[in-house]
């Protein structure tokens, strides 16, 4: 089922791009395929980025709630849920897009693995409709025309670090580039508070018996992931075919651009809201006065500007 519903559709989209692209360069086809996938996922990505930014901006209020509840977990959870509901935030909304990206990565890896092990698979594993396309017909008669490189400079079937210990430097550059791109992509969404402390400092104080604020710990852990993820990506992809690293590099670069667009769009919206508030004519807002409640009264009486003046005259008499 995974092969039928995940691997084949992903692989055939790549094959379609490869066949229609002038010059039939496999590396360029993989780059275009990655951009197409990111654009298809744009609605989900946009929602995820809005939620991630909202959660980041909400950290000061979350910290105040934690300080106010003083360790009362039940009350803290209740107030946090009310805050999320008020701001229309779902803390778990980022998981679907992460799962989808992981599935695409696994499906792409499985498809690329087939082509690397047997180049004929680029024709035989394609849908029948694609097998009748012009370039697919040519490859079916002469598979040696299949060029699995990026502009003839990097063999995408080779790993940066082979089992024999040799280093294939063109692939190593792509692997390193994917790790660096992932670092900047992760850093882009992290809080940038001036007083934010590192995880080591927080743990040191906790070891001395001081209470560690959970929101501060979460922020410190999130900050640490900007180093952790790139390192893990480098370790996992350095022994794989560089085609996968090229996909990750392209995906991270496109994600960085998408995130920059969303963040800039949010800032523009916030500035527009601020300008609207400044432009309001406060003179048109009716005056109001809250009259102190008598002991026997059951409700607080609100009056407009004229009634309040009459009340003040009566009070003077």
Helix (H, G, I), strand (E, B) or coil at 197: coil
* Total residues found in the chain within this entry: 317
pLDDT tens string 43-94? 888 887 777 777 777 878 887 887 888 778 788 888 888 888 888 787 776 6
Choice among 27-31, 36-40, 225-229 with the minimum mean pLDDT: 225-229
pTM of the model: 0.71
Check residue 266 and give its pLDDT. Answer: 65
Reference 14, options 136, 181, 141; nearest CA is 136
Query: How sure is the predictor about 100, in pLDDT bands with cuts at 50, 70 and 90?
Result: confident
- Residue 40's Cβ-side half-sphere holds a number of Cα atoms within 13 Å equal to 12
70: left (phi over 0), alpha (psi -120 to 50) or beta: left
Check residue 206 and give its pLDDT. Answer: 56
Contact yes or no for 49/88 (Cβ under 8 A): no
Q: Indicate if the pLDDT at residue 99 is higher than 60.
A: yes
Contact yes or no for 51/165 (Cβ under 8 A): no
Sequence ranges of the domains in the chain: 2-278
Helix (H, G, I), strand (E, B) or coil at 173: helix
Distances (CA, A) of 47 to 42, 93, 172, 182, 239: 8, 8, 34, 20, 34
Percent of the chain exceeding pLDDT 90 equals: 41
Check residue 289 and give its pLDDT. Answer: 42
Reference 18, options 178, 139, 164; nearest CA is 139
Neighbours of 181 (CB within 10 A): 21
Query: How sure is the predictor about 293, in pLDDT bands with cuts at 50, 70 and 90?
Result: very low
pLDDT tens string 198-252? 555 655 555 555 555 555 555 555 566 778 889 999 998 999 999 999 999 999 9
Contact yes or no for 11/111 (Cβ under 8 A): yes
212: left (phi over 0), alpha (psi -120 to 50) or beta: beta
Averaged pLDDT for residues 35-50: 86
List, in sequence order, the alpha helices (H) in 194-303: 199-207, 214-237, 242-278
Query: How sure is the predictor about 28, in pLDDT bands with cuts at 50, 70 and 90?
Result: very high
Q: Indicate if the pLDDT at residue 158 is higher than 50.
A: yes
Q: Indicate if the pLDDT at residue 309 is higher than 60.
A: no
């Amino acid at each position: 089922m995974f092969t039928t519903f995940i691997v084949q559709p992903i692989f055939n989209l790549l094959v379609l791009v490869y066949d229609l692209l002038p010059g039939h360069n496999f590396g360029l086809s993989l780059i275009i395929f990655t951009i197409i996938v990111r654009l298809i996922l744009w609605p989900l990505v946009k929602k995820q980025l809005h939620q991630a930014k909202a959660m980041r901006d909400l950290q000061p209020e979350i910290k105040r709630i934690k300080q106010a509840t003083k360790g009362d977990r039940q009350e803290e959870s209740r107030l946090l849920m009310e805050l999320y509901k008020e701001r229309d935030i779902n803390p778990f909304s980022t998981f679907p897009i992460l799962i989808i990206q992981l599935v695409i990565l696994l499906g792409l890896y499985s498809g690329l693995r087939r082509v690397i092990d047997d180049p004929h698979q680029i024709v035989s594993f394609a849908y029948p409709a694609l097998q009748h396309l012009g370039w697919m017909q040519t490859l079916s008669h002469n598979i040696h025309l299949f060029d699995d490189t990026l502009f003839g400079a990097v063999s995408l079937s080779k790993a940066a670090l082979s089992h024999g210990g040799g280093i294939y430097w063109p692939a190593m550059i792509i692997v390193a580039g994917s790790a660096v791109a992932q670092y900047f992509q992760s850093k882009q969404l992290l809080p940038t508070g001036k007083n934010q402390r590192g995880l080591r400092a927080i743990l040191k104080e906790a070891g001395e018996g001081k209470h560690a604020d959970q929101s501060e710990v979460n922020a410190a852990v999130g900050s640490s992931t900007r180093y952790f993820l790139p390192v893990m990506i480098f370790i996992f992809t350095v022994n794989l075919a560089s085609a996968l690293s090229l996909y990750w590099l392209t995906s991270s670069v496109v994600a960085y651009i998408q995130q920059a667009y969303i963040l800039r769009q949010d800032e523009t919206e916030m500035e527009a809201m601020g300008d609207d508030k400044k432009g309001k004519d406060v003179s048109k807002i009716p005056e109001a006065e809250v009259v102190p409640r008598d002991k026997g009264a059951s409700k607080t009486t609100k009056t407009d500007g004229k009634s309040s003046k009459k009340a003040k005259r009566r009070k003077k008499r």
